[in-house]
Structure 1
Amino acid sequence: MKDSRDDILGRIRRRLGRSAENAAAGRTAIDAVLARRAQGPRPAPDADLVARFRDRSEALASTVEIVARLEAAPAAAVRYLAAHDLPRAAVAWPQLAGLDWAGAGLRVEARSANGDDLVGITGVFCAVAETGTLVLLSGPETPAASSLLPETHIAVVPASRIVRGMEEAFDLVRAECGELPRAVNFISGPSRTGDIEQTLVLGAHGPYRVHIVLLAAE
């Protein structure tokens, strides 16, 4: 995919009379502008980002369970599914495949979701305390469909990846990725719409339920 994109952009540059060197210089100039940009007014920062993230997430109809470490995530997922009488089968990001899902009583397939999958388990790139938002980047090991197609989305969130606001989230993307991925998804609670007669409906364009397993020690 990246090779195809580079080929297309290269042809556009050539038709415009620009070189790869010019494009690189342009990116450097843009990075410099972003680095020195002045931020607008912002709310005062919270002393406890984890508490703020949890409060905002729950206000948006997500549910949250705090556990210590990643190894406890499978049991937490099963507790949530059992409490809501949901199926003990899920798809998960390949990077989570090494956890002991079977030992917790959950059948997990490490792949992207399709229309028949009811539960999707993902990690996050980071999470935003100010808005209770999950930030997910698409990629081979982090397929976007796993958080969009199933009716239930379970997200595993390390406390160390919670940042103050959207500004810090984008700074982190630029610092760790170098360039934007194909897609950046922002998830703030279950999917919802009020388009029809201003009646709020959950699950219209994505999951009905979002459950967050928050890793306090990671």
Structure 2
Amino acid sequence: MDTSAARRNILARIRAASGRAAQPEPAERGAVADYLAHHPAGPRPALPADPVARVVRFVEQARLMGTTVDEVDSLADAPAAAVRYLADAGLAARAVIWRTLESLAWADAGLVVESRAPQGTDLVGITGCFCATAETGSLVLLSGPGTDVGAALLPETHIAIVPASRVVAAYEEAFALMRTERGELPRAVNFVSGPSRTGDIEQTIVLGAHGPYRVHAIVVRGA
């Protein structure tokens, strides 16, 4: 049984124990939609309304979180930018990628890619993102066909292609965009804020504890 089905079954049992139908009824869904539409927002810091300013804020915050950032003009420039980053880091030009990125000219740029789920021997994963948040410099990744989130979590190096048009102000706008475009949340939603790190041992920061040592964002201004 997949995780989504297991979750639905668990929630159905909880609903049955409380005397409700296994699946939410239209009135319940309507009440949730009404709450989301009319519930007053909590206090928030001032964030840029201008799209260009949001991208600038995202880049600043991402770098503060330890993400390195490059900017290119178009998606066609992304493969060459990825190769430059790997060369500068002394890493091999080989990666696993999302199937949604297969159409880019990776081979022409000198990068060997495979569009599949990552394995323990894969050192570089290249992904897109659903959106990114200017407030925290975070990447927002949604699981689904062709967007295996493992490519961002298992390899030591994660390269993310970030369309400038998908940079939103904050988490609130990210979740609103998910509801608008996807309806319901997918099985996994990941907010990636720089390389994996922990300070559990003597409060010493260690990178790569639970995921990539390196996160690199390629911001595409024309996408």
Aligned to 1:41: 43
Q: Distance in 2 between matches of 1:169 and 1:54?
A: 17
Any gaps of 5 or more consecutive residues in structure 2? none
3-state SS of paired residue (1:120): strand
Q: Distance in 1 between matches of 2:4 and 2:132?
A: 30
- Length-normalised TM-score, structure 2: 0.91
Q: Counterpart amino acid of 2:178?
A: V
Q: Distance in 1 between matches of 2:205 and 2:90?
A: 24
* Shift in alpha-carbon separation, 1:29–1:203, aligned structure 2, 3 A: same
Q: Counterpart amino acid of 2:33?
A: D
What's the CA shift string for 1:108-144, capped at 9, x where partnerless? 0001112111000000000000100000001121111
Instruction: Say whether 1:111 aligns with 2:116.
Output: yes
- Length-normalised TM-score, structure 1: 0.93
Q: Distance in 1 between matches of 2:120 and 2:22?
A: 41
Q: Distance in 2 between matches of 1:68 and 1:118?
A: 27
Aligned to 1:19: 21
Instruction: Select 2:61's aligned residue among 48, 56, 59.
Output: 56
Q: Distance in 2 between matches of 1:166 and 1:7?
A: 25
Aligned residues: 218
What's the CA shift string for 1:51-95, capped at 9, x where partnerless? 000000011111111001111111000000000110111000010
Asked whether the 8 Å contact 2:12–2:23 carries over to 1, the reply is no
Taking only the aligned residue pairs, the percentage that are identical comes to 56
Aligned to 2:33: 31
Q: Distance in 2 between matches of 1:177 and 1:77?
A: 29
Aligned to 1:192: 197
What's the CA shift string for 1:127-180, capped at 9, x where partnerless? 000100000001121111000000000000000000011111111011111001
How many Å apart are 1:23 and its aligned residue?
3.1
Q: Counterpart amino acid of 1:18?
A: R
Q: Distance in 2 between matches of 1:186 and 1:113?
A: 19
Aligned to 2:151: 146
Instruction: Select 1:176's aligned residue among 181, 190, 196.
Output: 181
Aligned to 1:8: 9
Aligned to 2:208: 203
The 5 A counterparts of 1:68-79 are 68-79=73-84
**Runs (4+) off by over 6 Å:** none
Q: Distance in 1 between matches of 2:157 and 2:3?
A: 31
* Shift in alpha-carbon separation, 1:4–1:59, aligned structure 2, 3 A: closer
Q: Distance in 1 between matches of 2:219 and 2:8?
A: 41
Q: Counterpart amino acid of 1:4?
A: A
What's the CA shift string for 1:7-63, capped at 9, x where partnerless? 726853556543367533222211211111111111112240010000000111111
Q: Counterpart amino acid of 1:137?
A: L
* Shift in alpha-carbon separation, 1:10–1:132, aligned structure 2, 3 A: closer
